[in-house]
Structure formats: structure tokens, C-alpha cells
Amino acid sequence: MNTFDFCVADVKGREVELAQYRNHVLLVVNTASKCGFTRQYSGLEALYRAYADQGLAVLAFPCNQFGGQEPGSNDDIASFCATDYGISFPLFAKVDVNGANSAPLFEHLKHAAPGIFGTHAIKWNFTKFLVGRDGAVFHRYAPDTTPAALTADVKRLLAV
């Protein structure tokens, strides 16, 4: 299965076919509004603005599975992201990324790019998955990897 084969709900609950991002490089991130890494929204926005016109799409999926750090509704999350970080990249509905109710997209990403020691579970908020224009998962990045640190890999995939 390919990343572009999935359908997900956006922050307003509308179904979005990821096929619309075919031929884009995707940076898929599980996010949270009350996390020590929340400031990475600024870096994600900067990366998106720098490379969106070349085909980068940042897709943010809020998740409340880590320390209850995303307790708000989808509307609360959208308001926070717009007001506090001015994000212009797509924001999706809150999802689970681990466990029995894990979103199918994240099951795909986790199995395509296992974590350290081959683990599949996502360990914390702001785990990032970079996906090439062909829909193949290129790499998984740890929560403490800043968006700026992904620049070289993003540029490499955009050049393909």
C-alpha cells in the first residue's frame, strides 16, 4: 500500500484523499498543543513556506495519546494553531497513532519506517515521517528532531 492510497478526515471532519498530494513530498507529523515540542509548529510552518511552491506538503495530525497534551476539540486545536502559530499547512482531525484505534495512515507509516531498534510504536508527539513524491516512506524522525534539521532530506526528495 502507498501513502497516497489513504483517506483521512481534516480538522473540519471532511474526508480528504491523500491522492490529491500525489507528486508532492509529504511531511506527516503527529502534533500536540501543550507539549514541550509544540514550538516546532513554527519550524514546520517555516519549512512549509520555504518549499511548498516546490511541492512540499506538511500534514499535521493532532494526537492526545502522550501525556494528554492535546485535550481540546478539533475546533480548539485549529484556533490555537492559527492564532498562536499562524500555520497555513493542512491540519487534520485528532487521531490515535498507537493502539487498537490507531489511524490506518499511521499504521502504514510506522510499519514502513520503524523506529529505533525496529519498534513500530510512536514514542511521543512530533514524530515526523517524510514521504517521497512516489508515496514511499523515506524516513522517520524523532520528536526532538527539529523541522530545520530535515531541510537537506526535504530538498533531496523535492529534487527527484
- Segments in 39-135 forming alpha helices (H): 40-51, 74-80, 104-112
Q: How far apart are the first and last CA of the chain?
A: 21
Crossing angle of helices 40-51 and 151-158, rounded to 10°? 30
d(CA 28, CA 155): 16
Q: For the chain, give me the number of helices (H) and strands (E)?
A: 4, 6
Active-site annotation holder among 7, 35, 63, 81: 35
Please say whether the beta carbons of 3 and 131 come within 8 A: yes
- Quote the strand ranges of the chain, DSSP E: 7-9, 15-17, 25-31, 56-62, 128-131, 137-141
Q: Is 35 a catalytic residue?
A: yes
Q: Which residues does the annotation mark as catalytic?
A: 35
